[in-house]
A and B are shown apart, each in its own frame.
Chain A
Amino acid sequence: MKKRLLLLLFSIISLSVFAVDEFALVPAKGMMKTHYINFAYGSDRTKYKALYASGNENDVNHDALGGSNLVDELAVALLQINRGKQSFDDAELVSVSVTYDGFFVSDENPSIVRPYDIVYVEKVVAGGAKDYVNRIVETGGDFFTFPSDSIVKEYPNRPANNWYWIDFVLQLPGENQDRGVLVDNTYYPLIEGRYSSEIQIVAEAIINGSTQTLNITIPLMAEYTSSPVVFANRNSQVSMNVNMNANSRNLNLTNMLQTGNLEDIGNLSFMIRYASNSSEGTLASASTDYEHPSSTEGNYKIFLSSSSYPFEPNSDGFMFVHEDFVPGEHSYTNLNSVNFYITVEETGDSKSQKVTYDGKEYCDVTTGDMSYGTELYSNCHKFKVLEEGNFTHYHTFEGKLSINVAPDPSTQMMAGRYHGEIYVHVIEY
């Protein structure tokens, strides 16, 4: 039996993007569309369809885009100017650029990649007419470089009084093979699990005489599986990202012991996805509530600990340990080690949570209850989007990570390098 391979691909953007003024250069609401592409052998490929403000999909005249169907392509972002105005004000698009490295990278193994391309499709809407005026394809990937390919589109003539609509279409080239894909005669082995990439879009426009710049970073998340999955019925997926910043690599422990102050070391985000059905009205009525996912949307807990296994505690807690410390040979003293604490504070949300972890947290393996410590969220931002004719609910959380130690200015620790580890667990119960 042939193995069936699926890639689920979905994207979200920072919700704060939607706080911009309605007359500004803005990403369209359709950006929130979740994307899905089927890699199965012999299956119908997903065609690129244009998206509009209503969230509806519309077939595209593929001939106008280059003469052939754009298979395995999907829109990942829309850019629109002059949104929200009934009459088209003076809106002059100056430039648009999209930057990306052209590879999905396995979250588990950075050697494993899956190439993608970006197709830039721009449309000018004037008086209701839709005109596909441009298509640019860039491919990523250079030898031993950390590619940052980009498409830069400048508009020297600054056409005004039009409504611009730009799709950035993600294309997955190549021929699927068992446990991999062949692209341009290079075989890319693939492993099961999650993949991620990032697209950065910068657009500049002059709207009503003032220059406006839109800066969007779109994290892309993908999943590669080796078993058949019926997309519409696949519930409750969790994606989690932990990004550590510069501070996390060169903390001054002496200063931390003197002050006890919190030091910002990174951020944490996660998203729970739940596929539902098509009978929930329209996308225009999409909810933006704050609520705990219902039991039918999956029961998840997310928490931090110093144990690599979520169901057993590490009674030592979070600890900075000196480079020369040898487990089993040395014992912890206030000369060679010190406990630290991680505080997670929700950002970008008025219903903010703030939880401090000491690293001894763990969860009961039979009930899913926290045996020690606190789970990270109770209320998550919730919204729904339309994908493949069905609605999907998302619950999202973003928070910043801070670190501190109990202040003890009198402590004289051994000079040298100290190292600590933090585990972020998602459990389902």
Chain B
Amino acid sequence: MTDMKRVLMILLIFIFTSSIFAASNVQTKRVAVQAGVGEVLYVSIVPIAAQSSSFVVGMPFSVDDSVVKYDYPRTGRQIASWSLLSNSDFEVAVHAPVLKNITNASSSTELPYYLCFTYELSYYKQGDLIPSIESSAFVIRSENNNDGESIPSAYGSFSDKVYNSTVTSNATDSEYLSLISDVSYSNRYVGTLDGGIYFKFASNADTDNADVGEYEATVEIMVRSKA
């Protein structure tokens, strides 16, 4: 398969001060299942809309939100979920330019950030009839260059357990994060479903000194068949 699928994610960040709690319903739980027929190469991102400034999930959100600060000791604020399914060798890339102020043209503030992609990857080891699962995450950092052609570094990754093959998974010097290698079309699928995408800033100093205004960046995630 040579098609490339692109899914765009837009980050819109506003300063706002409203403080409303969202009610939570704990008595209904949603779970999902994912399946494939034939040849599949699929990736998607579903952005989450902010429900209130206090609910600490989704976009937009305040730069001053404690959960997105650099030193918040967790993975940050969940802003989207993502899913993946394939039964052929593929690669994934993420482009993440820095956040720029779009309401104040004179502002030179650029806000670098991290995105953390969590996943529970279901895969088959060679010879196994039932899939195994790996829970992990990979993290990318936005780039500071101004041309928008950033190539973020990535570390942490799907490991070498997929199809029991050797994986080149660290993309620090490559445009594509290679997640699976050396496997041809198979009737077995590799998939992750509704993994989280978490946001946090790359330093406290940047956000402490940020100009007031709305910030925006467009993040791309791409998947392609590996040649």
Q: Given the interface contacts A144-B114, A189-B66, A191-B55, does A242 sit within 8 Å of B31 by beta carbon?
A: yes
Determine the chain B residues whose CB is within 8 A of the CB of A420 once the complex forms: 32-35
CB distance A413 to B77 under 8 Å?
Answer: no
What string of 1s and 0s marks CB contacts (under 8 Å) between A184-222 and chain B?
001111011110000000000000000000000000000
Q: In the complex the two chains form, what is the Cα distance from A380 to B122 in whole Å?
A: 32
What's the nearest-Cβ distance from chain A to residue B178, in Å? 19
Q: Which residue of A lies closest to B190 (CB)?
A: A250
Q: In the complex the two chains form, what is the Cα distance from A252 to B130 in whole Å?
A: 12
Q: Is B76 an interface residue (CB 8 A)?
A: yes
Q: In the complex the two chains form, what is the Cα distance from A414 to B36 in whole Å?
A: 10
Q: Is B78 an interface residue (CB 8 A)?
A: yes
CB distance A416 to B76 under 8 Å?
Answer: no
Q: Given the interface contacts A109-B55, A252-B189, does A417 sit within 8 Å of B26 by beta carbon?
A: no
Give the residue of A193, A226, A248 whose beta carbon is less than 8 angstroms from that of B33: A248
Q: In the complex the two chains form, what is the Cα distance from A143 to B32 in whole Å?
A: 30
Q: Is A422 an interface residue (CB 8 A)?
A: yes
Q: Given the interface contacts A146-B136, A422-B30, A424-B31, does A247 sit within 8 Å of B36 by beta carbon?
A: no
Q: Given the interface contacts A111-B67, A246-B130, A249-B192, does A417 sit within 8 Å of B34 by beta carbon?
A: yes
Q: In the complex the two chains form, what is the Cα distance from A146 to B77 in whole Å?
A: 15
Q: Is A408 an interface residue (CB 8 A)?
A: no
Interface size on B, as a range, is: 35 or more
Q: Is B97 an interface residue (CB 8 A)?
A: no
What's the nearest-Cβ distance from chain A to residue B107, in Å? 27
CB distance B56 to A423 under 8 Å?
Answer: no
CB distance A146 to B66 under 8 Å?
Answer: no
Q: In the complex the two chains form, what is the Cα distance from A403 to B35 in whole Å?
A: 11
CB distance B21 to A191 under 8 Å?
Answer: yes
Which residues of B (118-157) have their CB < 8 Å from a CB of A? 118, 120-123, 130-133, 135-137, 139
Q: In the complex the two chains form, what is the Cα distance from A186 to B183 in whole Å?
A: 46
Q: Is B71 an interface residue (CB 8 A)?
A: yes
Interface 9-mer from A52-60, A253-261, A281-289, A346-354: A253-261
Interface 9-mer from B38-46, B98-106, B165-173, B211-219: B38-46
CB distance B34 to A248 under 8 Å?
Answer: yes
CB distance A419 to B32 under 8 Å?
Answer: yes
Determine the chain A residues whose CB is within 8 A of the CB of B190 once the complex forms: 250
Which residues of B (69-89) have their CB < 8 Å from a CB of A? 71-78, 83, 85
Q: In the complex the two chains form, what is the Cα distance from A383 to B200 in whole Å?
A: 45
Q: Is B174 an interface residue (CB 8 A)?
A: no
CB distance A191 to B29 under 8 Å?
Answer: no
Q: Is B54 an interface residue (CB 8 A)?
A: yes
Give the residue of B23, B24, B85, B137 whose beta carbon is less than 8 angstroms from that of A417: B85
CB distance B116 to A416 under 8 Å?
Answer: no
Q: In the complex the two chains form, what is the Cα distance from A141 to B135 in whole Å?
A: 17
Give the residue of A111, A256, A415 whose beta carbon is less than 8 angstroms from that of B77: A111
CB distance B56 to A250 under 8 Å?
Answer: no
Which residues of B (163-195) have their CB < 8 Å from a CB of A? 187-193
Additional A-B contact list (11), CB under 8 Å, known A186-B73, A250-B122, A421-B31: A112-B57, A113-B74, A144-B200, A191-B22, A242-B31, A246-B132, A253-B36, A254-B187, A340-B33, A422-B32, A423-B29
Q: Chain B: residues with CB nearer than 8 A to chain A?
A: 21-24, 26-40, 42, 44, 54-57, 66-67, 71-78, 83, 85, 114, 116, 118, 120-123, 130-133, 135-137, 139, 187-193, 196, 198, 200
